[in-house]
């Protein structure tokens, strides 16, 4: 699919020398994309990258074209309509959101596609399972100010945005009270004052939602405010955007992230090598060229990446494009995601096989998060250590 999309782009801008023969392939695939999306691809090649207003129009246009109707997604992918009733029921609890870019990487006709499983609502989400709660990490009790989550010493998280470009079905914040954390500029000043008063905070993490859902102007204002706090040294961005909406990584964004004295670090979220196509690779390359350290965190998900072969392939692909594998998380036990859980013993077996197959720098840390813990808790293969 990615290869065909690339060919479609070539044809639209007249770059392919064999336009007549390739046009047949476009005809086969064209029904996958809306006319607006095809125009978006065409226009993205015509936009001068020095024009910041047009850069913004590019990614914001796709953001405005999110797929949020399960029937539309099933139809686009040629999937059985028997999946629709449960998808609609689960969609009421946690809405489908997926970008056209990400949807284009899902294999048509495959209901078990690892990317599809991350985004399609299913009936299993509605099952009540003991131990799975709305706030598995007790973040409600770690919020000293509106817009702030402060769990670990030395760093603090700002809920910079309340929405994402994609709703991951296993998201541990799928029940998060975002309306309680929507802040105006006066309220941001209160949150920032909290950071000013704690000299132990050396790193500020922008999260959400996805902080890169913010327009550059809003993001720039917040970054500059953080940079004005003398004891903060690093700015970390937790985002799925380079994976699900690679057009978001614009020269204007890179300028926002690199124009202050803060050392920028971007932690992306990729769970499967199939998520990485040419556009994603180009976005990561732009981050590298801007000297933004880029790490990846994954979640171990049943039916998505719960084999050592899949995770080895992911680590190899990430490193190939310049991303360091950082964390492999066990599933946070959030209500609606129990069907994704991989047992700890199975996780350890997978991890041991990864260690045997990969160089050490390609093996992410296997961790879980626990409510009220002082840090992420390592999952050790042998001797357990209490934290």
Q: Is residue 106 a contact partner of residue 113, using CB atoms and an 8 Å limit?
A: yes
**Distance in angstroms (rounded) separating the CA atoms of residues 219 and 87:** 34
Average pLDDT over residues 13-18: 34
**Is 299:272 a contact under the CB 8 Å cutoff?**
no
8-state DSSP, 306: -
Task: List, for residues 74-121, the tens digit of each pLDDT value.
Answer: 999 999 999 999 999 999 999 999 999 999 999 999 999 999 999 999
Quickly state the pLDDT bin for 261 (edges 50, 70, 90): very high
DSSP characters for 308-329? Answer: HHHHHHHHHHHHHTT-EEEEEE
The residue-averaged pLDDT of 157-161 equals 94
Q: How many CA atoms lie within 13 A of 191 on its CB side?
A: 26
Mean pLDDT of 190-197: 96
Annotate 292-316 with b (16+ C-beta within 10 A) or e (fewer). Answer: bbbbbbbbbbbebbbebebbbbbbe
- The predicted structure's pLDDT at residue 4: 41
pLDDT for 24: 33
Length, in residues, of the chain: 387
Dist. CA 370–CA 348, nearest whole Å: 18
Kindly write down the DSSP assignment for every residue of 144-211, as one continuous string: SSTTEE--STTEEEEE--S--SS--TT-TTTT--GGGG---HHHHHHHHHHHHT-TT--EEEEESS-G
**Residue 69, Cβ density class (10 Å: 0-12 exposed, 13-18 middle, ≥19 buried):** middle
Mean residue pLDDT of the chain comes to: 87
Residue 180: the pLDDT is 74
Residue 374 CB coordination number (10 Å)? 10
Mean pLDDT of 147-154: 94
Least confident piece of the model among 137-151, 188-202, 254-268, 356-370: 137-151
Mean pLDDT lowest for which of 33-37, 102-106, 304-308, 361-365?
Answer: 33-37
Structural domains of the chain in order of their starting residue, each with its CATH number: 1-55 (no CATH), 66-126 (no CATH), 139-378 (3.20.20.70)
- Residue 167 corresponds to which tokens in the numbers above? 């709703």
Please report where in the chains the tokens 């859902």 appear, as a residue. Answer: 213
- For the entire predicted model, the pTM comes to 0.85
């Amino acid at each position: 699919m990615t290869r065909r999309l690339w060919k479609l782009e070539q044809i639209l801008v007249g770059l392919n020398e064999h336009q007549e023969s390739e046009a047949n392939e476009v005809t086969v695939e064209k029904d996958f994309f809306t006319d607006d999306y095809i125009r978006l691809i065409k226009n993205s090649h015509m936009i001068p990258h020095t024009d910041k207003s047009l850069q913004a129009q590019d990614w914001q246009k796709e953001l405005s074209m999110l797929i949020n109707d399960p029937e539309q997604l099933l139809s686009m992918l040629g999937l059985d309509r028997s999946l629709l009733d449960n998808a609609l029921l689960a969609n009421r609890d946690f809405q489908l959101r997926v970008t056209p870019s990400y949807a284009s990487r899902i294999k048509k006709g495959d209901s078990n596609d690892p990317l599809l499983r991350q985004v399609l609502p299913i009936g299993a989400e509605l099952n009540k399972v003991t131990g799975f709660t709305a706030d598995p990490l007790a973040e409600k009790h770690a919020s000293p100010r509106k817009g702030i989550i402060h769990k670990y010493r030395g760093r603090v998280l700002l809920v910079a945005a309340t929405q994402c470009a994609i709703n991951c079905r296993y998201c541990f914040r799928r029940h998060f009270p975002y309306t309680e954390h929507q802040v105006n500029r006066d309220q941001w000043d209160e949150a920032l004052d909290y950071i000013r008063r704690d000299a132990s905070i050396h790193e500020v993490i922008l999260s959400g939602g996805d902080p890169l859902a913010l327009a550059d102007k809003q993001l720039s204002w917040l970054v500059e405010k953080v940079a004005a706090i003398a004891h903060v040294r690093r700015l970390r961005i937790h985002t799925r955007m380079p994976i699900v909406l690679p057009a978001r990584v614009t020269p204007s964004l890179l300028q926002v992230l690199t124009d202050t004295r803060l050392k920028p670090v971007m932690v992306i979220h990729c769970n499967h090598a199939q998520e990485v196509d040419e556009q994603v690779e180009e976005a990561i390359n732009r981050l590298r060229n801007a000297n933004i350290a880029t790490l990846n965190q994954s979640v171990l998900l049943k039916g998505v990446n719960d084999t050592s072969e899949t995770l080895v392939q992911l680590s190899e692909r990430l490193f190939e494009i310049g991303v360091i594998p950082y964390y492999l998380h066990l599933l946070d036990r959030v209500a609606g995601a129990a069907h994704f859980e991989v047992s700890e013993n199975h996780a350890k077996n997978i991890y041991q096989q990864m260690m045997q197959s990969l160089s050490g720098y390609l093996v992410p840390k296997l961790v879980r998060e626990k409510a009220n813990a002082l840090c992420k808790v390592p999952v050790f293969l042998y001797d357990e250590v209490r934290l």
